[in-house]
Amino acid sequence: MISWLPLLSFSFSNRRQIETFFANGAIAAGDWVQLDTTKTGADRVLYVVEALAGTATGNPLVVGVATEAAAAGDQVRVVVAGYAENASVANAVGSAGIALVVDNTQAGQAVAIAAADTAPACGVSLEAAAGNTADVWVFKQF
């Protein structure tokens, strides 16, 4: 009998999905990123930028968390669904299980979703934030 158990050893969730985009500006590892609507046509879903802060009701263009730093024109890998370590999350997120959204607090950083937010949650905290980072589960929106 063949045992598949050794083949099922993972260091991360096999439910995580990573997509490669092009950066249209500086992106730090752990930043939440959004589709770049300054582009035209299909490039709007090929390029990403650090998720903008400026909408009090949340940013519906957020697609995930950058796994590495990138400069304008670089390829950048983005967790679009599943587990992401050290995502940019405000220290005010004090526990696991908090729904997250990027709003008008700080670019690239998620905060606890508020009742007034109309954008969907982009993820959920898996731990309390410390040093403005936390491990999160990214909700698939791309």
What are the pLDDT digits (tens) for 62-109? 999 999 999 999 999 999 999 999 999 999 999 999 999 999 989 999
Assign 3-class secondary structure to the chain: CCCCHHHHCCCCCCCCEEEEEEECCCECCCCEEEECCCCCHHHHHCEEEECCCCCCCCCCCEEEEECCCECCCCEEEEEEEEEEEEEEECCCCCCCCCEEECCCCCCCCEEECCCCCCCCCCEEECCCCECCEEEEEECCCC
> Which pLDDT score is estimated for 3?
52
> Which pLDDT score is estimated for 15?
83
> Which pLDDT score is estimated for 11?
56
What are the pLDDT digits (tens) for 7-49? 555 555 568 999 999 999 999 999 999 999 999 999 999 999 9
> Which pLDDT score is estimated for 91?
97
pLDDT band per the 50, 70, 90 thresholds, residue 1: low
> Which pLDDT score is estimated for 40?
97
pLDDT band per the 50, 70, 90 thresholds, residue 111: very high
Choice between 56 and 79, residue whose per-residue pLDDT is larger: 79
pTM given for the model: 0.89
> Which pLDDT score is estimated for 142?
81
Strand partners, 130: 133
> Which pLDDT score is estimated for 85?
97
